[in-house]
Amino acid sequence: MPGLKKSKPTVLVGMSGGVDSSVSAALLQRRGFNVVGGFIKNWSDSKDVWTGECNWSGERRDALRVAAKLGIPLLTFDFEKEYRALVMKDFFRTYKKGETPNPDILCNQYIKFGLFFKMAKRLKMDYIATGHYARVRWDSNGTAHLLRGADTDKDQSYFLCRISQEALNRTFFPIGNLKKTAVRKLAKQFALPVADKPDSQGICFVGKLDLKDFLRTKIKSKPGEIVDPKGRIIGRHDGLDRYTIGQRHGFAASGGTSAWYVARKDLRKNCLIVVPGARHPWLYSDSAVVRDVHWLGVRPPAFPIKVQVQIRYRQKPVSAIVASDKYKNRVKLKFTEPVKAAAAGQSAVFYKGQECLGGGFLC
């Protein structure tokens, strides 16, 4: 990493109370860095019965136990107000529009590599670090490049596609070159009190609740008609926000034997359009438009450019040509093979080999 000549730089490590971030802190300490832990409080909602499933105080307690074991301080940052405004507001807004948002990407952009990074600078910290499965490479010009994590099953570069070059340039991903099994072994070697803690699953503010159940508490849905490709009414839906493009619909039309899948949403008519069979052509797209594109490099690439695109986490990348669009921060995608279930609001993330170039949102 360019630019620093301190003998013992200080790193603010985002510590969630989980295994990955705890091992990250321990590894940096072993490498000789001055390590300070930082716990981020994003979300609590005492009015909701599901609060106990997203127990931030319990996670903070675990982070404190790890910090005590390592002999490092732990700072707590309350970003709940900002999280609601910058992440949750967009999450609810896009779901109300019938789109499919990914709040983790916005959380990384605005909170972990936004506010948390700014706080590190304000506190005169030299770097930040997180427990993401990703890697950073610096070129001879000092530009930071985001690479996939070595563990292909755990790679989280998809969620980091919108962070700033400034933040990326001052970030360590200590476990990015490791497999998850190796991280677990290290947790035991370091005798960390969370060594046997299960991995967190799903979206934090939902906890163990089904996402649909959570959304029912936050969004007033408007029921409407379900129609087939010919426009015939074949049922009723509970609200367009309850369904995802490509999702198998849980009903059977009279006299039919095929399963039905969500193909489109007509917001103007409040209609859900379903098609018979998982391979119906309406479920596939050979092109797309991506809005609010963010490039991780110092400047955007020259168009057209051939990339690999992921529109879902852990999806197999698909080759595509990215071309400029007449609107600012928008690009056109032409897939080399049809892509299934490309839904508005999903994040389209661009790769060149192992490098993540950036990403945007499907229109």
Whether 161 sits among the annotated catalytic residues: the reply is: no
Confidence of residue 5 (pLDDT cuts 50, 70, 90): low
Whether 107 sits among the annotated catalytic residues: the reply is: yes
Question: Which part of the chain is CATH 3.40.50.620?
Answer: 10-189
In the set 107, 161, 271, 356, the catalytic residue is 107
> If we measure between CA atoms, which residue out of 282, 275, 283, 268 comes closest to residue 234?
275
Question: What does CATH list as the number for 10-189?
Answer: 3.40.50.620
Q: What is the pLDDT of residues 289-344, one digit of tens each?
A: 999 999 999 999 999 999 999 999 999 999 999 999 989 999 999 999 999 999 99
Q: Which CATH superfamily is domain 284-362 in?
A: Translation factors (2.40.30.10)
Q: What is the β-pairing status of strands 127-129 and 10-14?
A: parallel
Question: Which part of the chain is CATH 2.40.30.10?
Answer: 284-362
Task: Report the range of poorest mean pLDDT among 67-76, 134-143, 230-239.
Answer: 230-239
Please give the radius of gyration of the chain, using alpha carbons only, rounded to the nearest integer: 22
List beta partners, residue 309: 318, 350
Question: Residue 223 CB: number of other CB atoms within 10 A?
Answer: 12
Rounded to an integer, the average pLDDT of 177-200 is 96
Question: What does CATH list as the number for 221-278?
Answer: 2.30.30.280
Helix, strand or coil, per DSSP, at residue 238? coil
Question: Which part of the chain is CATH 2.30.30.280?
Answer: 221-278
In the set 54, 161, 204, 356, the catalytic residue is 204
Which one-letter amino acid corresponds to residue 203? I
Q: What is the pLDDT of residues 342-352, one digit of tens each?
A: 999 999 999 99
